[in-house]
Structure 1
């Protein structure tokens, strides 16, 4: 899964206020003193005594306030499933882990409390009118955050999102709303917790953080299908900002993952865990297998002719979305492609059309569907193997939210395993790469730094230098921070600052301090932009980098210049003495590499599990419920509306044994590639791109992907044998 599917972008609006902070601190008279913190602040949230709530009469009074907010703001007459129990838990001072299926109404579980906190404050009189605090929502999905905020604003609820799509004016307005105490909900991505200014500002927000909502909470678990180490920082963030309570939400959590979530956030699994049944009686779960993907095309056309209505077809890679959508249009279908690489405007336009249309087919990667609240999606088609049972469950959950029958079709063929293996084997770097990366992080210059001092690094440059993809590189940095405690990520900086003057009078005359004079004197004029070397200017006596960046940020905010930044540098604070010997560094490399190998094995196992779900001799619905340890009380042994229940014939996946590595093809690869890394050579043979293969321009070479029909590990072993000098490295 690529980062851009989830909207992660390290080079975002941090550039606006690198030193001045994205959200400025409230007035000093409104700050909460850290000295006033409760004595039990460092306890896990579930261990703290419940906060004394303003009296609303009784629990019935709280329930009525919640129902009133539901009706007035969202137009619903009653809560569904476990929503009321979760909301009651939060309004009575507790924390919660919520596992509801896709479409189960998770967002209301934190939106309603965010609105009711103010009503409780009014009744108790404990707080001034604008000291009601805020609810922070952490979510990795930019599109989902934007959609939710837009919907809340339409309902006259004060909500805002901090992401790379926001304009300068919107940031300024959010800042003002925070200072005024009028903002109810603030949405942000987990990566923003690396922004030092943001974290400090949230510690001092007016009225405090009443609730921290953690969406897609399964990302905190290494056993989850979408583990993201940056998510582990959210628990630390909850403690640092003194969040009064936490709610963790996910649609997909096995018992082990649910336990991990509760443990990470200190939530009682006995009183704070809420789960609703997975079973959806209106979903017909079907599967078909074929010897090759080509055989699935006519089957797909036939399926779509029989089953009309809004449809999402999930494929694995971006090019597939365009090719398949084009083929469907040639067959007369109203089909469009959707993937993360498209322009934001195009994606928004397609989402809007799909929402309003009753016959549209979207061929998409996993980028589509998150946050799409369309009740009448009639069909979900998996044209390739999903990466996990969790992903399959989440995606079929988008069908039939109106309660009417909908069909979920899974097309299965041996060809699919090649794509899944590309994703699975594409992330693991060689152990040599891991060691060399760590030697740079723990260079003599960095190892000489004292505690509290900073160093910077370009992740892009390191990916290219050590042939490590961005995702595993980020994992290793996060583990050095969270597992080993050597460093802490902080606000990124930028190596290049360019600007265009938009108010010449203010630019030349408004500011006469040393920073302003130095910027004007050193800025180099090109055709359109002036370029300033921030590091060079900040070396002048009496100046520091923050002065220069702060002045540029202020000019940008005030409309004096239009600022453009590039060349992101990730910044880390030394937390304890960095290792400096080969023995220490090699021990860390061995541990990190071993953990990545384990995650690779987990990914392979998840592929087997999702295939096993539809090829076993069991009701699909029952197998799905069993995977999530959902006993679905009242559900018969067979649902009656899946392929197994309708036919009692097992879906059999044709077996295509892998071929042995071809010595002649291996020699051709060795003729055009360096011989120093058997793993890299195996990737070239299999067709797995990496930063190094891109640099060497090998993707268009005939040797790239010349042996995709082999077992990948057989290829690695064969190249180790060829490259005898590298045997000891593996």
Structure 2
């Protein structure tokens, strides 16, 4: 057993209540602290095991679950690194339902101030699956997401107010919602536990860094969460260290389990295309030379055979949305029960597909990475990778969805001449030109003109992405770098630029006579069906705090007095120090930003090559996978004995991609087609087949020039277009 300080069990008690408790003197505490800690620890363990059996039907904990739960119940921040399917969610679900029983046992809280466990999770699909499973077990859980109706949200808020909700799920983006933040601050009993799922997203060194996750750490402080548990299946040692630093997790509170799964058979197969004269990009993007679907791709023949040899529920992962649709159509035409799933589908359709797969009414789902996160279907027999995974972490996470019931399952990875092309398309699309970054910085500074340190400025990311040809994700990372590395400003809660509401009968009674309520009644102007209110102007006119008015609008909404609608997010930043003023200062920031983003692009390409190296290396797949996460195979094994390398004793040789030499005529053809001369990297993107806000705005993704030079080396294209633009006198450099 691990020893804990006796005071830890009282971390959630206010000082007034602590003074009312009979507490030992220092001498008594010193003499009995170890004994008391052991008693508390044993009590927590017994409670956790009972709840595991009663609520979840398991006799014992697996892996490091028990240790992680003990730490959480003792009030300590904790990190859990378990492979997909190893039961990470129990590490916060058991404490969530244990807290009320602990409160009753020590008498420190009343039932109506039991608090809630808040789970920050990235996908609606995960939330839905988890909530459904918990409710079937009689555990009060819900999620706040974009699919919820107004009435459903009112019920959730009412449950929070009455302390009837044990677990609430939300996306990290929800932390941008100022109304949500204000509501959470006043939940009776507070946030007992904040669970951060997919915690690797908080690390800049993680394989899927998301700036929105940076706000989670600040959110912990703002809402005064009692404790935090971070969960991930894909943390390398470097990422785990970063998570611990961000959330103040001690080394003794890190729990890891090997990613090795002996029931998973890891296969790989190299395939070249049947028709050597047919461009491989046509094969990839769904139309053959004759205009027919690409069923002559050898991978389809191999896939048909694989699925017939290995029947059962199957996930086929592809890189592009339209690939998912094409594959589902082709498989269906050949007698397989298949459906497509991707982020571009309507929510209702995605819900139907997910439900059908979970209920075994759909046997095969052809999907992008949007499918599978949090899907707890134990009998998935196969996972197929049609295209190269973006990272080893992503590959590990996806194959981990197979065989959770412990039975033999098969994971197939296909390699083709085009395997690395799509990875380059995704990686290269996130790096803007240096000139675009400079213009972005000038725009940021223009919005902050006249503002002093500790003042706030506002702007629209959407407008900047469109105006400076930067995708949303890299744009968010730019702001994260400006905050983390330069310390120029700090992101604060964004504001909605527009508030309007539909009033119900209860609104017109005007029974609430607080200053904030009177301000709403006075300032809201009815226009046909809706009332409009300018929150900022109302705050200034009435001498009130803007957040207090927002809080009152949300209270009205929660009580059913109004049906509130918000739109137009304006991002807000608090200036922390003097912003760049001279050209030299500006250039220094732009240089650092651009250097960082070049490094991120190289890192993304390197991560893709790591996947290729794992599949084509001269060693056991499972061993390479374990060592990537700083672990080894169990019992000193050097080989798993059941991957393609172990079966054959030789590496898989990927067919080489045949590149075409660039000519002056091909470069000039793109120049003539687009008429663009101001951004060499933009021209290279068009020619290579990479979408961006500007490409879409100019509709060049529909033009014959788009993807016309995909058989060329991207870096060489940038150099050629840089020279061509310089010769025209439009720009002096590329990027």
Fold agreement, TM-score > 0.5:
yes
In the alignment, does 2:180 pair up with 1:180? no
Deviations 1:53-100 (A, max 9, x none): 997944322211101111121111111111111112222333321111
Local SS of the residue matching 1:442: helix
CA 192–61 in structure 1, closer or farther in 2 if over 3 Å, else same: same
Contact between 2:179 and 2:554, CA under 8 Å: does it hold in 1?
no
1:459 aligns to what? 461
Distance in 1 of aligned mates of 2:624 and 2:90: 29
Name the CA shift for 1:316/1:548 in 2 (closer, same or farther; >3 Å).
same
- What is the distance in 2 between the residues matched to 1:234 and 1:504? 36
Higher RCO (C-alpha under 8 Å, 6+ residues apart) = 1
Cα distance change, pair 415–441 in 1 and its aligned pair in 2 (3 A): same
| Closer/same/farther in 2, CA of residues 536 and 625 from structure 1, 3 Å limit | closer
* Aligned match of 2:383: 380
State the alpha-carbon separation in 2 of the partners of residues 99 and 551 from structure 1: 41
* Counterpart position of 1:615: 616
- Kept in 2, the 8 Å contact 1:414–1:653? The answer is yes
8 Å Cα contact 1:93-1:245 kept in structure 2: yes
1:450 deviation in Å? 3.0
2:253 alignment partner in structure 1: 272
Residue aligned with 1:727, SS: coil
Q: Note the C-alpha offset of 1:376.
A: 0.7
1:455 partner SS: strand
Task: Show the counterpart of 1:632.
Answer: 633
Deviation of 1:606 after TM superposition, in Å, equals 0.8
Separation of aligned partners in 2, 1:485 and 1:242: 24
Does 2:651 align with 1:650?
A: yes
State the match for 1:212 in structure 2. 194
Other-structure match for 1:534: 534
| Residue among 332, 339, 343 paired with 2:342 | 339
Measure how far apart 1:510 and its partner are: 10
Q: 1:354 to 1:392 in 2, by over 3 A?
A: same
Corresponding residue of 1:605: 606
Distance 1:53 1:205 in 2: 35
- Is 2:236 the partner of 1:233? no
Would you say the 8 A contact 1:309–1:359 is kept in 2?
Answer: no
Map of 1:318 onto structure 2: 321
Indicate how the Cα distance of structure 1 residues 419 and 164 shifts in structure 2: closer, same or farther if over 3 A, else same: same
Candidates 202, 205, 211, aligned match of 1:223? 205
Per-residue deviation, 1:560: 5.8
User: Which residue number corresponds to residue 369 of structure 1?
Assistant: 372
Deviation at 1:347, TM superposition (A): 0.9
Change (3 A) 1:697 1:557: same
1:716 maps to 718
The 1:487/1:197 distance shift into structure 2, 3 A limit, reads farther
Match of residue 578 from structure 1: 579
**Where do residues 702-713 of structure 1 align in structure 2 (5 Å cutoff)?**
702-713=704-715
Q: Cα offset for 1:470?
A: 0.8
Measure the CA separation in 1 of the matches of 2:387 and 2:268. Answer: 12
Alignment of 1:118-137 (within 5 A): 118-137=100-119
CA distance in 2, matches of 1:64, 1:555: 43
1:82 matched to which residue of 2? Answer: 64
304, 307, 315: which is aligned to 2:307? 304
Shift of 1:194: 3.3
**SS of residue matched to 2:169:** strand
Residue pair 1:503, 1:559 contacting (<8 A) in 2 also: no
Question: Are 1:102 and 1:251, in contact at CA under 8 Å, matched by a contact in 2?
Answer: yes
Distance 1:274 1:535, change over 3 A: closer
Deviation at 1:552, TM superposition (A): 6.3
Q: Which moved more, 1:176-185 or 1:692-701?
A: 176-185
Q: Quick one: structure 1 residues 646 and 473, their matched pair in 2 at CA, closer, same or farther if it must change by over 3 Å?
A: same
Structure 1 stretch displaced more, 163-172 or 285-294? 163-172
Change (3 A) 1:681 1:75: same
Alpha-carbon distance between aligned partners in 2 of 1:716 and 1:52, rounded to the nearest angstrom: 66
Distance 2:565 2:723 in 1: 51
Residue 410 of structure 2 corresponds to residue 407 of structure 1: yes
Spell out, residue by residue over 1:451-485, the C-alpha distance to the aligned partner (whole angstroms, 9 max, x if none): 44333222111111111111111111223333333
- Preserved CA contact (<8 Å) 2:681 2:734: no
Which of 439, 443, 459 is 2:442 aligned to? 439
Residue aligning to 2:488: 486
Offset from partner CA, 1:475-516 (integer Å, 9 cap, x none)? 112233333333333343344556556659939999995643
* Contact residue 154 and residue 559 of structure 2 kept, 8 A: no
1:61 aligned counterpart, secondary structure: helix
Query: Match of 1:569?
Result: 570
Do the aligned partners of 2:179 and 2:550 also contact (CA within 8 Å) in 1? no
1:519 aligned partner? 524
Verify: 1:284 aligned to 2:265, yes or no. Answer: yes
Matched residue count = 680
Give the distance between the partners of 1:141 and 1:441, measured in 2 at CA: 31
Q: Distance in 2 between matches of 1:88 and 1:505?
A: 48
Match in the other structure for 2:288: none
Contact 2:524 2:531 in 1 (8 A): no
Compared CA separation, residues 623 and 505, structure 1 to 2 (3 A): closer
TM-score, normalising length: structure 1: 0.86
**Unaligned stretches of 5+ in structure 1?**
1-29, 37-50
CA distance in 2, matches of 1:255, 1:539: 48
CA distance in 2, matches of 1:717, 1:601: 17
Contact 2:535 2:550 in 1 (8 A): no
Kept in 1, the 8 Å contact 2:207–2:393? The answer is: yes
Alignment equivalent of 2:122, drawn from 129, 132, 140:
140
Q: Separation in 1 of the partners of 2:512 and 2:143? A: 32
Task: Give the TM-score normalised by the residue count of structure 2.
Answer: 0.86
SS at match of 1:723: helix
Cα gap change, 1:548/1:337 in structure 2, threshold over 3 Å: closer, same or farther?
same
- Displacement, 1:622? 1.3
Give the Cα–Cα distance (whole angstroms) in 1 for the partners of residues 558 and 462 of structure 2: 29
Q: Distance in 2 between matches of 1:33 and 1:513?
A: 36
Give the deviation of 1:379 after TM superposition.
0.6
Alignment of 1:654-673 (within 5 A): 654-671=655-672, 672-673=674-675
Shift in Å, 1:107? 0.4
